[in-house]
Amino acid sequence: MLLEAKDLRKRFGGLHAVGGVDLAVGEREIVGLIGPNGSGKSTLLSLLMGIHRMDGGTIRIGKTDITGWPPHKIARSGISMMFQHSRPLLQQTVLENVLLALLPDRMFNFRFSPELVTRARGILAQVQLAEAADRLPGELAFADLRRLELAKTLAAQPKLMLLDEPFAGLSAKEVREFSVLIRAMREEGRSVVLVDHNVKGVQALVDRMVAMSSGTKIADDRPDHVLADEQVRRVYLGSRESSAAVATAEVRSEPILEIADLSVQYGKATALDKVALTAQRGAVTAIVGLNGAGKSTLFHAVCRLVQSSGTIRFGGQAVADRPDQIARSGIVLCPEKRELFGDMTVFENLRMGGSHLAAPDFRQRLDFVETLFPRLAERSKQNARTLSGGEQQQLAIGRALMMKPKLLLIDEPTLGLAPVVLDLISETIERLRASGELSLFIAEQNVTFALRHANSIHLLEQGQIVWSGPTHRFADEVGHKVL
């Protein structure tokens, strides 16, 4: 074994980000690390690189025990990491950025040897960036920037490469090209651990797949076995049985939200590409897709929290320009990160949501929310930051409901929640639908959950809508892609 990590543990406050994980990587092996958002994949990589101090466990590379080493020593022992969000030095050329990664850790070194420059050019050629060597990173396309990061990772001649989301933001064609590069590294005798949300994308590439959920390893096997594993399907894809049980009828009413030609750029990466969709009044609409597909970006664009181009109409009118105006006009977002006021009590959080209501209205609304979530009434005087994850989600939805939304956008309502809370959220969505006073638009990576509630579904892949239609047709027509 090249790498042997045993019983790795890391706590952030009360959260067990990684709770006792074993990971072994052999020579010339590509291991895929999968799992939903927040399952601890990236934290695990950081532990291997020494970026976070471990709370327990041991790591060996070859015969060397590197437990507790600082990152720069680990880097010199044969592990290198490609970060998900790393920025090149913008004032230096592509070549100089690679040269940096080739430099020895010596202070009195005032000259670049020609031999290093030759090596840097060689590495650039390897990732097909040779022509861009003398350009500045700012002039590169997004995919080429990722190639540059890969080149920097390669420069250290690592035995083991840790790649955090190497495919994020890449098109299908670019993903294929990158996969070829990664395979070539295995041919050179290196091993790779890569983290990705794009399960289908990595399935063909990896020799072995490790699935994580809530900080623990739940499967470690050949890719097809892992993807067939019942527990993996349940936490990552949603379980199959319940999906068959529900088929919600299509709603034919006038649209409450109409989106056309909506595009969003994050620097050079295209997050949304000419998205067009509608949500019907009185219905539950769902947008599904893998993490990173652009679901949150879509919601943020609707609420004008990010810059976008295209048109968004709400109830037949163009939406306002500022996020606060939009919130007051009836489109309320319950964001993935919840954005609660941590140092305020539950009641104070709800009161902030109901700030724009007159006193009698406020009372009535508070009753409504507290009936929906009796837990919030019990915890009324407790600080929001001390609530459990499920309670925080209830508070986030409750606070959004205090705004009397006409259209409620809920981003990942079930993310990281225990099954029991999930049922409660399910129930809430059905009760809100039954109340008839608002329309719902949910973004979910848990397709099963979406299928259970939505009247119509949109499937988002890498910033583009690839399928839209009523829920009952989803499983037959595109189910194979996500289920």
Partner 1 sequence: MDDLTVSSPSPLRRLSVPTSGVAWLAVPCLIALPFVGISEYAIGIFTLGLFFAVYAMGWDLLFGYAGEPNFGATFLIGVGAYSAAMLNSNGIAPPWICILAGAAMSVAAGVLLALPALRLRGPYFGLVTLVAVLILRQLIILFSHQTGGEIGIAVPEVLALSPIANYEIALGCAIVSAGVFIIVARSPFGLILQAIGQDPLNAQAMGFSSVKYKLAAFCYSALFSGLAGALMTFYMGTASLNIFVDAAVGVQIIIAAIIGGRRTIIGPAIGGVFLIVLGEYMRPFGRLSELVVAVVALLVLLFLPNGLLGLVKLKRRAH
Partner 2 sequence: MLTQLLISGFLISAIYALATTGFTLLYGVSGILNLAHGTTLATAGIVAWYVAGLTSFDPVQVILAGVTSGVVVGLLTYALIVRPIQRLLGLSETDEHVFMLVGTLLWTIILQEALANIFGDVPVSVPQFVSGVVNIFGVRTPISSLLVAAISWGLLGALWLYVGFTKSGRSLLAASINPRGLVLCGFNLALIHRVVWTIYGLLAGVAGVLIAMVHGVSPSGGLELTATAFSIVILGGLGSVTGSLIAANVIGYIETATAYLVGPSLRSLPSLIILVAVLYFRPQGLFGRR
Residue with tokens 């009535």: 364
Smallest separation, CB 164 to partner 2 (Å): 22
Helices (H), 127-193: 142-155, 172-187
Which part of the chain contacts partner 1 (CB under 8 A), choosing from 73-81, 181-189, 341-349, 451-459? 73-81
Name the percent of the chain in helix, strand, coil, to the closest 5: 40, 25, 35
Q: Which is nearer to partner 2, 239 or 325 (CB)?
A: 325
Q: Footprint of partner 2 on residues 312-331 (CB under 8 A)?
A: 322-325, 327-328
> Min. distance of Cβ 97 from partner 2 in angstroms?
17
DSSP per-residue letters across 32-53? EEE--TTSSHHHHHHHHHTSSP
Say whether residue 108 binds partner 1 (CB under 8 A).
Answer: yes
Using CB under 8 A as the binding rule, whether residue 341 contacts partner 2 is answered as yes
Q: Is residue 476 involved in binding partner 1 (CB under 8 A)?
A: no
Tokens 């072995």, residue located: 208
Q: Does 353 bind partner 2 (CB under 8 A)?
A: yes
Cβ at position 72, least distance to partner 1 in Å: 5
- CA angle centred on 29, ends 58 and 127, rounded to 5°: 110
Residue from 256, 289, 291, 271 nearest 409 by CA: 256
320 binds partner 1 (CB under 8 A): no
| Residue 292 CA: distances (Å) to CA of 81, 280, 423, 457 | 20, 25, 25, 18
Asked whether position 347 contacts partner 2 by CB under 8 A, the answer is no
Q: Which of 4, 221, 250, 348 binds partner 2 (CB under 8 A)?
A: 348
Contact flag: residue 363 with partner 2 (CB under 8 A):
no
352 interacts with partner 2 by CB under 8 A = yes
Single-letter code of the amino acid located at 171 = S
Q: CB–CB of 326/303 below 8 Å? A: yes
Identity of the residue, 75 or 277, whose beta carbon is nearer to partner 1 in the bound complex: 75
Closest CB to partner 1 among residues 52, 233: 52
- The amino acid present at 214, given as its one-letter code, is S
| Eight-class DSSP state of 237 | I
Distance CA 198, CA 116 (A): 36
Considering only 340, 366, 401, 432, the residue that binds partner 2 (CB under 8 A) is 340
The partner in contact with residue 466, picked from partner 1, partner 2, none with C-beta cut-offs of 5 to 8 angstroms by kind, is none
Q: Is residue 72 at the binding interface for partner 1, with CB under 8 A as the rule?
A: yes
356 touches partner 2 (CB under 8 A): yes
The residues, any chain, with a CB within 8 Å of residue 18's CB and separated by 6 or more, are: 8, 9, 10, 40, 43, 44, 47, 215
Is residue 357 within the footprint of partner 2 (CB under 8 A)?
Answer: no
6 vs 229: CA distance, rounded Å = 23
Check the CA dihedral 311-315-317-322 and report its sign. Answer: negative
Q: Which is nearer to partner 2, 139 or 339 (CB)?
A: 339
Taking each helix axis from N to C end, the angle separating 389-402 and 346-353, rounded to the nearest 10 degrees, works out to 30
x/- map, 395-434, partner 2, by CB under 8 A: ----xx--x-------------------------------
* Count of CB atoms situated within 10 Å of the CB of 277: 19
Residue of the chain from 15, 24, 136, 269 that contacts partner 1 (CB under 8 A): 136
Which positions lie near partner 1, rule CB under 8 A?
49, 51, 70-73, 75-76, 80-81, 83, 86-87, 89, 91-93, 95-96, 99-101, 103, 105-112, 117, 133-136, 152, 156
Which positions lie near partner 2, rule CB under 8 A?
303, 305, 322-325, 327-328, 332-333, 335, 339-344, 348, 351-353, 355-356, 399-400, 403
